[in-house]
């Protein structure tokens, strides 16, 4: 019978529970007064490399995951492909992972399903950007159409209702990069905080 050498340990053998990962990410994002960095990753290998390099958390980049699958960062990769990639990443590291959930892949129902599946696969958090679906990468073109503030707040509330504090919810405000100005960004920030976003 073949066995693994004792010196090699598989990440899944020491994987923290999802609630533990979410608590670790929440500590980094919401409670830590020191500057903290999340390293971009898009597959199991890049996740393991980031952990070995000493990073304390991962950013599961939608751009990088889509690119690794041969797609543009324009909602071409499906939410199921994203969730599958996240599962492989979670299996390769013990670090908490914040997942780029794009705009939630549709309306509040889609965002809620995405969040539940990410929690089941071991993600620690999800970031949703306040764009319409399908979305385009923020650095391509200008004046991207943003989601209605009330509608996006509903997406956030649906996610919070579905996963509670078991997944850190980050609302990514696109108003500035879309050229709408600081007043619009602050208006959206207050609305999203009231809707339950953690950050």
pTM over 0.85, yes/no = yes
C-alpha dihedral sign at 41, 43, 44, 46: negative
Burial label, 77 (beta-carbon count in 10 A; 0-12, 13-18, 19+)? buried
Maximum mean pLDDT: which of 7-16, 17-26, 127-136, 166-175: 166-175
Mean pLDDT of all residues belonging to the chain: 88
CB atoms within 10 A of CB 14: 9
> Is 6's pLDDT higher than 50?
no
Of 8 and 86, which is predicted with more confidence?
86
Q: Kindly list the catalytic residues.
A: 73
The candidate with the shortest Cα–Cα distance to 147, out of 168, 183, 165, 171, is 171
Is residue 140 within 8 A of residue 168, CB to CB? The reply is no
The candidate with the shortest Cα–Cα distance to 21, out of 126, 122, 156, 157, is 122
Of 165 and 5, which is predicted with more confidence?
165
> Is 79's pLDDT higher than 60?
yes
The candidate with the shortest Cα–Cα distance to 93, out of 133, 49, 130, 132, is 49
What's the confidence (pLDDT) of residue 96? 96
* Percent share of the chain, pLDDT over 70: 87
pLDDT digits (tens, 9 = 90+) for 88-118: 999 999 999 999 999 999 999 999 999 999 9
Rounded distance, CA 20 to CA 40, Å? 20
DSSP one-letter code for 30? I
Q: Which of 17-31, 59-73, 182-196 comes out lowest in average pLDDT?
A: 17-31
Mean pLDDT across the stretch 182-194?
97
| Tokens read off for 41 | 């990753």
């Amino acid at each position: 019978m073949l066995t693994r050498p004792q010196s090699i340990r598989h990440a899944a053998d020491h994987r923290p529970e999802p609630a533990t990962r979410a608590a670790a990410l929440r500590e980094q994002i919401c409670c830590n007064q020191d500057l903290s960095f999340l390293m971009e990753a898009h597959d199991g290998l890049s996740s393991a490399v980031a952990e070995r390099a000493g990073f304390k958390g991962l950013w599961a980049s939608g751009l990088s995951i889509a690119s690794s699958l041969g797609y543009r960062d324009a909602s071409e990769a499906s939410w199921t492909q994203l969730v599958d990639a996240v599962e492989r990443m979670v299996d390769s590291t013990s670090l908490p992972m914040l997942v780029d959930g794009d705009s939630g892949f549709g309306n509040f129902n889609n965002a809620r399903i995405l969040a539940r599946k990410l929690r089941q696969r071991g993600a620690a958090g999800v970031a949703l950007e306040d764009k319409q679906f399908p979305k385009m990468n923020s650095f391509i073109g200008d004046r991207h159409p943003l989601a209605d503030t009330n509608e996006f707040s509903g997406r956030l509330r649906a996610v919070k209702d579905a996963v509670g504090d078991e997944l850190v919810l980050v609302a990514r405000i696109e108003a500035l990069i879309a050229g709408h100005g600081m007043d619009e960004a602050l208006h959206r920030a207050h609305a999203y905080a009231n809707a339950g976003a953690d950050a």
